[in-house]
Amino acid sequence: MTIEHNSARCCFRNPLGAVKTGEYVMLRLRAENPDIRSVRIKTFFYNESAEYPMFRGANLWEKRITVPETPGVLWYFFIIETTQETLYMGPPMGHTQGEGVIYHQPPASFQLTVYDRDFDTPEWFRGKTMYQIFPDRFKRGNPENLTRGAAYHRAMGRTVVVHESWDEPVLHEPVNGAPFYSPCDFYGGDLRGIIDSIPYFSSLGVGVLYLNPISEAASNHRYDTADYKNVDPILGTPEEFRELCDKAREAGIRVMIDGVYSHTGSDSLYFNKLGNYPSVGAYQSDRSSYYPWYTFHGSRDSYQCWWGFDTLPEVNEQNPVWQNDIITGPYSVFSYWKRLGAMGIRLDVADELPDNVIELMRTAWKADNPDRVLLGEVWEDATTKESYGAKRQYALGRGLDTVMNYPFKNAVLAFLQGHSTADELANFLTSQRLNYPLPMYHALMNLLSSHDEPRAYTVLASGLTGDGMTREEEASLVLEEEQLKSGRARFKLAGALQFTIPGTPSIYYGDEQGMQGLKDPFNRAPFVKKDPALAGFFSELSLLRKKSAALSRGGVSFAALAPDTIGVLRYIADGRDAFGAPAQDEYVLTIINRSDRAFSAVLDLSVFSDTLPPHDRFTLNNLYLESADMLSGDGTVCLRSGRHIIAAVGALNYGVIRLR
């Protein structure tokens, strides 16, 4: 019995991918068996379900469904009645997209994301190269900042360990007989050092600088905010931040700050548990103007904390006083950073901010300039994320512009370590393309490393992540030359994929120089220029992306070319890019070969056409190639016929090819 539905193919679902509220989608099922009496589609949307009869054509059953006017995720599967039994078709177990599977009981469902029809993301941000900086560890620009800042914090009784040398290892053990490790060591990286490095960022093709927290705080990571409206004195001054924004903008770069709004530090202007600030904090009195920010349980020493850490009192984001102080008021934290020139906010632990608060943030942040960006820290697929008993709405067009794409990192590193196949990676990448609203998909922060994750180079070289290791074991890790060579080659493959798929490729400071390190704090070592050739590789990819309209704003299709080899086709067809804007036709094929053997094959471009929209599929299938040029990588290509090419890519290498 032949029964078929594939949510990634336009002949079964049109349009492909997420759809806007109130639009329609055509769903089809191929069923050639005459014993089938009827087919129905069962849908689920929040707490409602419905069934729709499908209409039979020649071997195809079809039904056009109008999606709801409310953003959400519509789920569906098929009920197939035969003369003998009732069958069901849903996605493969553990998946929400792809080739349907027959079941004998109600299955999981295919995902159809419905997003707000008015949703868009700032065009300037989509496709730009991002550079993430952990400020204390990037570059010393003015040594006096560290001297003054350390004295300021010590005067409050805070422990401050100053590294005299940039080359000293990071602190990873308790100091001064303390019972626990504390992130209290400082190298003196500052805003002046970042300002002085703008030419370096330009050489990498950077368009967005994302800074981990820079507001005053007791720790080196500064996620324990002490004063939202003051730059930490170790980093410099608010005036220097304004200067950074101005000079970066002159170089075509915009600055994104890290917004830590689900909690503050207990040692802060607002809570003031230690009495270090002249203000009356919430801990000190219920008459404090900040008292409504927090939730106390009967006494001042019993309060709601972030994940149980009493140094991080949690705020009540629904409180109107907090909302006015942070988001909406004329003297709010949002207004303060707007005036200084920030063009983006990355929301720390976005899952812990209520959806209505994120929507309020979106409105306030973009009120006078819709080009400002709101990016969220989300570790899973943001379209189906559930937290605190609620289905999250922030990826459906009324909240976040985009999110950190940790699932991309996980999938790429798994593939390059041999834990998954090219087919599995292609299916994952296709699923992301289908699940996310188009504007968000082209703005996803596609990272390989971050301040919360081991550096990708080290993972690919060692196969380790730091799990199950002590800090001493991580600190003493030394990789052999062969491991480093293999890790470097695989890291370059990860970068090639990162820069040739849709989204915003993000470089974690020093990754481009081959920096290593497993978990925090070893992934936060001081920046060093140790591998200029690797930095040149990332510069080349960034420049290539900037020059190619297909790579920066074209459509995409993914295909497994062999178990160890994946292909990515970016394209602009009939003079329009992925958003329908005018652009010159261009086809760019990237081939990633993780094998230790060279890849060589005759490629039929039709392997990419199945997952394209009907018009683009037609254009590709009728494309007659006249030439092909290598743009980057260790590969060769020559024309064989109008729709076939011979491609050869070296072992552990890649090729970026323009098809003409």
Give the catalytic positions in this structure: 348, 377
Spatial distance between the Cα atoms of 431 and 111, rounded to a whole number of angstroms: 9
Tokens of 378: 């989300």
114 has which bridge partners? Answer: 19, 72
Tell whether omega for the bond before 521 is within 30 degrees of 0, i.e. cis. Answer: yes
Q: Are 192 and 237 in contact (CB under 8 A)?
A: no
Residues listed for the chain: 660
Residue with tokens 């006096």: 144
Secondary structure (DSSP) of 591-645:
EEE-SSS-EEEEEEGGGGTTTS-HHHHHHHHT-----EEEEEESEEEEEEETTEE
CB contact burial 217-256 (16+ within 10 A = b; e otherwise): bbbbbbbbbbbbebbbbbbbbbebbbbbbeebeeeebbbb
> What is the rounded end-to-end Cα distance, in angstroms, of the chain?
42
Helix, strand, coil: what percent of the chain each, to 5? 25, 30, 45
Spatial distance between the Cα atoms of 216 and 657, rounded to a whole number of angstroms: 48
**Residue of 433, 493, 487 whose CA lies nearest to 459:** 487
Q: For strand 504-508 and strand 445-447, is the pairing parallel, antiparallel, or unpaired?
A: parallel
Query: Residue 416 CB: number of other CB atoms within 10 A?
Result: 24
CB contact burial 294-318 (16+ within 10 A = b; e otherwise): beeeeeeeebebbeeeebbbbbebe
Secondary structure (DSSP) of 537-587:
HHHHHHHHHHH-HHHHH-EEEEEEEETTEEEEEEEEBTTB-TTS-B---EE
Q: Are 137 and 34 in contact (CB under 8 A)?
A: no
Q: Give the amino acid at 412.
A: V
Spatial distance between the Cα atoms of 187 and 299, rounded to a whole number of angstroms: 39
**492 exposure class (CB count in 10 Å sphere: 0-12, 13-18, 19+):** buried
Q: How many angstroms separate the Cα of 426 from the Cα of each of 320, 472, 608?
A: 46, 38, 11
Spatial distance between the Cα atoms of 513 and 135, rounded to a whole number of angstroms: 17
